[in-house]
Amino acid sequence: MDTMSSTPEILHDEFGSSLEAKQKVAAPASALPRQITIQIGDIPFTLRTSTIKEYCRVLSNQFCSGRWNAGAVERNDGVYIMEGNGDMFTYLYDYMVYGSFPLFYDYTKGFGYAKYARLLVESEYWQVDGVTDWIKGKKYEGAVGIKVASIDSDGTVNETLPAGAFYEFHPRIQVEKIYICPREIFVHQGDKRRCGIACMKARGDDDDKYEEYERLKTLRIETRVMIHDEMLKESRTERSLDV
């Protein structure tokens, strides 16, 4: 008669590995810490695991997967040391935590396309898809608008102008013809319609008389950069922002 062994049966997968051993290695979801601090370069970043799982696939696979293989990362006083560009990761961190996108724009040089290209490399490396899609779609270009206005004025500009705009000033001499009243009545100067019958009689058969007059004019061109803040923020629910 067969006797029952007191040793429990150990199941193996197709490669001969113990499934029981695998189950011991896999950490339950409850074992994951609420937040994790990583250091990239010289900069530490603290992220909740819920934020990591939602926005960064590389960190999610490293710290939040069933394998919980954080032990493979060097740790110093509870901080996990990881390779990367800490300055660039700051922009990814701001997106993950606050839902904000970076604006690389100079009022005189325009968009910082080279910096966006560098950030794209970082977002693809860390698999932060929200930033990757935003840069590839050039959504940042919609965050900036240019408003141009021109104002022509007499003389030179002698006034206080508001900040926040670029100004160009183009002075010039403009030659104008001024109508001269035949009777040289001052209030009639420059406007023939003010002359009456007496003026017309005084003119007789002569042509209207004009004198050239030089006037200083200044063309002011205002260029104002309009920032559309709504294009630099991802729409999220309050729950998603609670990181």
- The residue ranking higher by pLDDT, 125 or 156, is 125
Task: Single out the residue in 80, 109, 142 at which a domain terminates.
Answer: 142
What integer pLDDT is reported at residue 23 of this predicted model?
44
**CB distance 174 to 215 below 8 Å:** yes
Q: Residues near 172 by Cβ (< 8 Å), separated by ≥ 6?
A: 216, 217, 218, 219
pLDDT band at residue 73 using 50, 70 and 90 as cut-offs: low
Q: 75-76 and 43-48 as β-strands: parallel, antiparallel, unpaired?
A: unpaired
DSSP structural state of residue 217: E
Q: How far is CA 52 from CA 25, 87, 170, in A?
A: 21, 18, 55
C-alpha to C-alpha distance for 90 and 32, rounded to whole angstroms: 24
Q: Which residue has the higher pLDDT, 153 or 51?
A: 51
**Is residue 4 scored above 60 in pLDDT?**
no
pLDDT value, residue 133: 98
* Lowest mean pLDDT segment, chosen from 62-66, 175-179, 202-206: 62-66
Say yes or no: 31 and 79 in one domain. yes
**Are 203 and 161 in the same domain?**
yes
Q: What is the mean pLDDT of the chain?
A: 83
Q: Residue 7's pLDDT is what?
A: 39
Whether the CA torsion 80, 86, 88, 93 is positive or negative: it is positive
What is the CATH classification number for the domain harbouring 105?
Answer: 3.30.710.10
Confidence of residue 134 (pLDDT cuts 50, 70, 90): very high
> Are residues 216 and 134 located together in one domain of the fold?
no
Q: What is the pLDDT of residue 19?
A: 40
Is residue 241 pLDDT above 50, yes or no?
no
Q: Residues of the chain with pLDDT > 70: what percent?
A: 81
Q: Which residues contact 229 (CB under 8 A, 6 or more apart)?
A: 143
Q: 58: number of CA atoms within 13 Å, CB side?
A: 15
Task: Yes or no: say if 119 and 126 are a contact pair by the CB < 8 Å rule.
Answer: no
Among 142, 166, 194, the domain-final residue is: 142
pLDDT of amino acid 64: 83
> Within its chain, how far is the Cα of 8 from the centroid?
61
- Residue 7: inside a domain, yes or no? no
Judge whether residue 240 has pLDDT over 70: no
CA distance 109 to 112: 8
pLDDT attached to residue 155: 78
What tens digit of pLDDT does each residue of 81-108 get? 999 999 999 999 999 999 999 999 998 8
Tokens of 81: 């040391």
- Asked, for residue 240, whether it belongs to a domain, the answer is no
Cα–Cα distance, 53 to 61 (Å, whole number): 8
Burial (CB < 10 A; 0-12, 13-18, 19+), residue 95, is buried
Task: Give the Cα-Cα-Cα angle 44, 49, 52 (nearest 5 degrees).
Answer: 75
Q: Are residues 85 and 168 in the same domain?
A: no
Q: Which of 12-16, 23-27, 144-148, 235-239 is most confident?
A: 144-148
Most confident of 26-35, 105-114, 208-217: 105-114
221 burial (CB, 10 Å; 0-12 / 13-18 / 19+) is: middle
Report yes or no on 35 lying in a domain. Answer: yes
Please tell me the total count of domains within the chain: 2
pLDDT at 71: 59
pLDDT tens-digit series, residues 206-236: 899 898 888 899 999 999 999 999 999 998 8
The verdict on 50 and 123 lying in the same domain is yes
Range of the structural domain that residue 63 is part of: 19-142
pLDDT of residue 51: 95
**Per-residue model confidence (pLDDT) at position 136:** 98
